[in-house]
Amino acid sequence: MLRLRRNLSRKYWDLKMASRKTAKSRKAEKKVTYPSAAAMPPMAVSSFDMSYNHTGTWRSLKPKIDYEKCIYCLICWKFCPEPAISLDSVVVKGKEKEKPVINYTYCKGCGICWTECPVEAIEALEEQR
């Protein structure tokens, strides 16, 4: 299950990164029109790519991971609902580890990661804009 979720998350993330758009094309993408009634899906359904939806702008508290305290348990990554935490392969004390990295373009600041972190390695900072 863990592996499955990880692969899914990675795939999703890669696609998000690959489809980074300019401001102009993002604007065009938001406006969806259909050439005919038949071409419009019968229900409200998103297209696959929601990468233009920068949910990071919603944030009022900003999580910051202290990698000195981090034990690489990946609980934050598992719980992140967006998902805005990706994994980065690093070598720590000679061992290969996966390090959680927060993507602030999509992190909503929901607080689940800093609530769930077992070693209090994630700090909630006031968002400065």
Partner 1 sequence: MRKVLMGNHAISWGALLSRAQVIAAYPITPQTQAVELLAEMCAEGKLDAKFVKVESEHSAMAACIGASAAGARAFTATSGQGLALMHEMLHWAAGARTPVVLANINRAMAPPWTIWTDQNDSLSQRDTGWMQVYCQNNQEVVDSIIQAYRVSEQALLPVMVVLDAFVLSHTLETVDLPDQEQVDAYLPSFDPEFKLDPDNPRTFGGLTAMDGYFELRYKMHQSMEQSKGLWEETGREFGEVFGRPYGLIETYKTADAELLIVTSSTIASTARVAVDRLREKGRKVGLLRIRVFRPFPTEEIREILSSVKKAVVIDRNISYGSSGIFCQEVKAAMYNTANRPPIFGIITGLGGRDVSSTDIINIVERTDSKPLPDSDIIFEGVTIQ
Which residues contact partner 1 (rule: CB under 8 A)? 8, 12, 31-32, 37, 40-48, 50
Look up residue 123 and give its amino acid: E
Write down the least CB distance from residue 124 to partner 1, Å. 27
Nearest CA among 123, 119, 112, 86 for reference residue 101: 86
User: Which CB, 53 or 103, lies closer to partner 1?
Assistant: 53
Write down the least CB distance from residue 24 to partner 1, Å. 19
User: Which CB, 70 or 84, lies closer to partner 1?
Assistant: 84
User: Which CB, 11 or 69, lies closer to partner 1?
Assistant: 11
Q: Which residues 6+ apart lie within 8 Å of 98 measured at CB?
A: 72, 74, 87, 88, 89, 90
Write down the least CB distance from residue 42 to partner 1, Å. 5
Question: CA of 114: how far to CAs of 1, 13, 15, 22, 111, in Å?
Answer: 23, 21, 27, 32, 6
